[in-house]
Amino acid sequence: MVWAFQALTAIWIGKVRLIQKTNTQKQSLYFSEKLFEMIKYGGTIDYEEYFNRKAVNSTLWPTTTYLSGHYIKTTGFWNFWPWGTTWSVAYNLSYYKCISPNSGSMWTDWCMSTANNTLSNSQIWRPQWYGQYSFQFIDYNSNADLDLWDEDWDNNIIWDDDDEYLGEWPTVFDIDTDTKELYLINGVKRERTFFRYNVKLDPHHPGYPNPSICTTLDNNATYTWSGCLGTIEYLKLEGIDYWLNHTNLWFPLDPDSDGTQFDGVIDTWLIDEDFSWNDTTVAHSYNFVNDGLVTNDAYWQPLFPENINVTEFKVFPHPNIDLERAWKESDINQNVAEYVRIQLGMKPAWKDRKMLKWEPKEYKFSTTINLTDIFTQ
């Protein structure tokens, strides 16, 4: 009789394990496929944003590059704070142009240093204007003379005889390296989709709100999953042609002093209305909502439910340079269609684990997704 009860209990435990395993597999497969589909429909690599990220991360301060699984320093998504400032540093309402210095030596990577741009000061570590990456491929003083880059003396640096489209430089991230976040842009260049990893405390863990390690993960920290909940978040931006300082959203009567409003160039990015409280929220580092400051973190939405713990999210986009602009690139490893390789790890979170008496299995996924804009025209 005892043996019979033991056998029945073993069968019941085996059934529970099988059901739990099947449910985990089904959910993992569903949400991973959902992620892959969203990436496929997100478009191609947003090289402008990766250039922006590279510029912002170029400083050694703070030494911690990312916390809780994603970057700590904000890029502003190519916009700035209201009134044309960010991080309390004033920015010109114009792009900087790339120039060979009068000494005749051309830059070898990008023209953000003082000697190689028309603003005559370093733009390293600063968030960049949307479209600034494209200027890195044009030398507006290719003959490196003393004409102040205005070859025809028409008070305009562009469209001169000494303008040269270089067809090379610069790369925006290290090749075959986890970029931590995925930045995509659609075919008509009006919608951008971002993905990032976020790790926080699991509210269903028996020891909640400890441990605090989940919110202080930095470059060298080791993930301890006893009380952590990892997920993938995404955000969408909509491009619109306002003007470079974006202040008309706060002061509609302000004149368009720089002449860039409704000039056919996308210069402002809004938080997609599905992620915000309205359809005019500018994607700054911070936003004003109900007379208070709200960080852009508030707009990111989780892709996975709380009963799935995403234990790993790695992103390997390729190539690391925009081939439409770098048309001189001859490396056969670079001259390929855009793709991204994704690595995922998932297991049940404490919302489901608290009913289990065993350590649940972790499931690993790895896939390569060819990126195209044919779905996003």
Predicted pLDDT of residue 83: 41
Predicted local distance difference test score (pLDDT) of residue 87: 40
pLDDT of residue 340: 96
Per-residue confidence (pLDDT) for residue 183, from 0 to 100: 96
> For tokens 């060298």, what's the residue?
220
Structural domain boundaries in the chain: 17-44+56-70+174-370
Q: What is the pTM of this model?
A: 0.84
Tokens encoding 72 = 């700590």
Tokens of 353: 């684990």
pLDDT attached to residue 39? 94
* Residues in CB range of 330: below 8 A, 6 or more apart: none
Sheet arrangement for strand 363-370: 308-318, 339-348, 363-370
Taking alpha carbons only, the member of 77, 125, 53 closest to residue 267 is 77
From the list 310, 279, 275, the residue with the least C-alpha distance to 296 is 275
What's the average pLDDT block by block, 10 residues per block, for the chain (377 residues)? Answer: 53 51 66 89 94 78 68 71 42 75 68 81 80 90 78 82 85 89 93 92 80 57 69 92 61 53 78 80 61 66 90 93 90 90 90 74 88 75
How confident is the model at residue 81, as a pLDDT? 47
